[in-house]
Structure 1
């Protein structure tokens, strides 16, 4: 049994939360262009990335960060309801980037979504944009793995492995999770 499964809580400090959020923003930001191209009238995903970027750079975890994260998820739902699946995934990536600042120190596999959700949804958005080409998603997972610094990998390894489910974005999340866990942390 892994240490994270034996303990109820995980040590996590503000600097680590900022590193996780910076990683999430770096993964979600490229996919924002997909959303803005398909939903140019909706500023909500950009707003949460702006808030998350401020937090990652040393700002406070504000109510605006939480609200804009929820708003980005609402934008995702609206995109899906209008049949724009790539925009849905891109907005979810932005929402997860904002939510990453609220990673809980609970030893639960579901918390991995706060760490890797932005990357997985962004990879899925690019995959859909490329005609649902799984090689594109895999390529972005590899690219995003390269963006994860030692702090992000160390934080991830404190949590149980990523949970099942989540359809294709969940598969991408688990692939990224396994890739990062195979690294040695310096």
Structure 2
């Protein structure tokens, strides 16, 4: 598994490609901004490794305690944290729960102070209106968040595969000569040697 610094480098080196690719594909600077911002946020702060004590987790600073229940509920590298799309949706949902709690606390304080507050139906209507009017922006932000997470998954997979294949720069001795030469799985290679 790559170190946190390696994941950071992958994110920062990939950012110009993500921004340029989005701008070229959509021809809209605002969408390129949201995709790039989501990619950077996901790659540096909101990534899959929030399920353990990691660079992502440490960067939340005084708010890192928010992720303790998440870490206890989610096993590292499970589909719920490192799964494509579902991992990102899970982190968004989890953070949204905390934001909703803060919002409810704020509404309670505002009501106690006598300020006019929105009802639940009004808040839902505002949210629906915002999503309907800004759907491309929300989609761009989600794509950026998922691309940032994907850069993490792919680098994890590449490093794990490389480590499995090679140890200390040498081919893994657990892989037989026949499996390396013929590109056969180890079980098939053992059968080929027996014959």
Name the TM tier (shorter chain). under 0.3
Bigger Cα Rg: 2
TM-score normalised to structure 2 length? 0.25
TM-score normalised to structure 1 length? 0.26
